[in-house]
Every structure is written in C-alpha cells, then in structure tokens.
Structure 1
Amino acid sequence: MAGRRAAQKSTERTIALTILVVGSIAAVASLLGNVWFVRAGVLVAVAMAFAAVALAWRELRQERDQHALEMRHEMALRAQQAVRHHEESVAMIGRFNARAENLQAVIAKLRSQVGSARAELSSMRGNAVWLRAEVAERQARIEALEARIVELEAEEATGNVVALPRNAMVPSVEDIWGEDEHPTMIDLAKLNLDGIPELRRHA
C-alpha cells in the first residue's frame, strides 16, 4: 500500500511538473510573437495552471481518502485489540473470581474446622477438670481406705496379744525334776531365783 501510494505520488508529481514546464515554455514563447501568441500563451498558462491545480486537488483527495482508509483500518485494528483485551480481561476477572470463591470456600471450611477444634478443646478441658476432680476424690478414698486398713491391722494386732503372767514362763520344781531325782546345775539355772534376795532380807 505504501509503495503504491509512493508510485501514485511520483506519477502525479511528474505530470504536474510537466504541465508547469510546458506552460512556462508556452508563456515564454508567446512573448516572442504578436498579441495572438501572447493571448494563446496566457490561455495555455491558465489551462496548465488549472490542470496543475486539478491534479493537486486530486492528489489531495486521494491522500485524504487514503488517510481515511488507513485510519479506518487502524481503528478497526484497535477495536479488535480492544475487544480482545476486553475478552482477556473478562476471562482473567472470571478466573480471579473463581479463585476468590475457592479461597472463600477454603477459608469457610478452615473456620468450621477451627470452631470444631475449639469446641473439642473446650470439651477436653472440661473432661480434664472432671478427671482431676475424680482422681482427687478417688485418691482421697484410697488414702482413707489405707488409713482404715492400718487401723484395722493395729486393732487386730492388739486383739491377738494375750497378756501372760510374769511367772508363766518360769518352770516349777515339779516341772524340772521328779520326786526321786536330785537337781543338777542345769536344773537350778532353770529356776526363778529372783525371789531369793527377798527371802534373804526377810530372814
């Protein structure tokens, strides 16, 4: 398109220059003749001027038409680019909206999980408090039972002890030897001689 426009410009410019040169030569040549030659030269110059102006206007119209065509083509390209850009923008916005919706769904799910975890944690804390109280109560019961067992064992031990007389374990003379036997040193050692000093003091 640019080459064709350049070719048209060069052709029209060549024609215009040719007309101007021919008109100038005719005008100069008319000066050498009589009045009719001068008039003819003026007419030729005027005709050449009109022809040059007509070619100039024609070239100007062509330039305007070409420029308008190029502008329309440029506007069409820009419109296509704008439409494509708009479509891409709409598609991108749609993707962003879909991603935002997915993120909102994930956030809502995480919030629900956090709420469930908090409720479970609160329940576990309540259970822990109850278990501590239960353990403390059972520990108190165990300690009370252990104390009761100790008391019962002490009572049982005290009840099984029988108070024996002081001289119960000391054998008598009849237990050591018979009537026809004589005491030996071993038999005398078995006797309770604690009362002998008392007998000696009374004697």
Structure 2
Amino acid sequence: MRLLLVEDDLRVAAPLRAVLGRHGFTVRHATTGEEALAALDDVPDVVLLDLSLPDHDGFEVCSRIRRLCDVPVIMVTARADIRSRIHGLNLGADDYVTKPYDIGELLARIHAVSRRTRSDAPAAETPPAAKGPGGIELDPATRRVAVGGVDVVLTRKEFDLLALLAQRPGVVFRREQIISEVWHTSWAGNNRTLEVHVASLRSKLGNPAIVETVRGVGYRVVPEA
C-alpha cells in the first residue's frame, strides 16, 4: 500500500516512515501542503495529513485534495478539540487521529479506511430516490440528499450513515451494527468517530431531533408523526 505522509516535523516523520516501512507500506514524505498536492499525481492509497504545515493549514490542504480526487485522508494532529474533528470530517477527511497515538491504532485505521474505500464501489442496481422523515430526500444512485428541496452536502460516510438509519425509521440501530455496516469494521475505536459523524449530520440536516440517541444502545431516525 502506498502512503503519502504529510508531516513537516522530521522528528516525527523519520521514525514513523521507518515503522510504516517495516509493516510493508511504501511511504512518500511531503513536508508542505504544496508538496503534498503535487505528490497526488502518483495516486497514493491513503494520505496521512498533519494540520500544522509551514505553508498551508492542513484543513485547506484537505479541502484542495477533495477537489482533486477521492483518496482516503486521515488527519493526524495534536488538535484534539471536537470542533476541529467535526471541521476536518466535514471537509472530507475519512478519519481523525490525535497525537500522541498508538502505532497499532494508526495501522488499524489505515487498513480500515482502505477497506472502506474498496467497498464503496456502487452496486449494480440502486433503488430510486425516496422521501424520508423530516422531508429528507435520499437518492442512492446519485448520493444526493435534500431537505425541503434544498440540497445538503454530506461527506461519504455521513451519507452512508443517514441512508442506513433512514432505511427503517423508528428502529434503533446498535452502535456495533452501524460501525460494521458503515465503516466495515468491528473495531471499537470507531465509536468516537461515529459520535462525531452523528453530530455533524444533525447540524447539516438543520434538525438535531431527526437522529435520536438511544442511550446505551445506538441511534435511530425518528419517524414522522
């Protein structure tokens, strides 16, 4: 697997490259945002993106990557606040890892986003667009979501999460089931990622009550009265 490591601190990058190499990854290292964008010509399998870069903020780099291609991006940063997490995922990052991290966790997340990307190929047949609770319209064929006739821009995983919950309004989906079907993994570390995606989804839909938390169990889309 080819990784693009975007990290300006050589004290971090050098040992990380060595570890990744021992685990079979081919690593290309970029120290600036511009170098990272130029390196996309080689089409890496996954991008590990630090947010504190000397020329551009990592959020801007992620946004520009998304305009160029759909390569999986994992933000790897010391910024641990929830607003940064949500902002990064809204820009199209596939995952968000905070420093300091366990190398085993990072490796698991790299493999997870890689598997998810491979499994995101569209099915041969997709059901037609349907109107769900709260006036939400979902079109699996075009991956379009609209509320009250106004398009809502969702990330790949936000759409998958909403589509899953909207299949059966009122039915509670367990956290483990959601993580399995949307993230294609059973790794418990994705619980936090799920919470961030739910928070972002509620904000974008403009109606936080649409996606309800069932404490200790999971989430459900509230059916229309």
Q: Which interval holds the TM-score relative to the shorter structure?
A: under 0.3
Instruction: Return the TM-score normalized by structure 1.
Output: 0.16
Q: Counting helix residues as a fraction of each chain, which structure ranks higher?
A: 1
Structure with bigger RCO (C-alpha 8 Å, 6+ apart): 2
Q: Counting strand residues as a fraction of each chain, which structure ranks higher?
A: 2
Instruction: Return the TM-score normalized by structure 2.
Output: 0.14
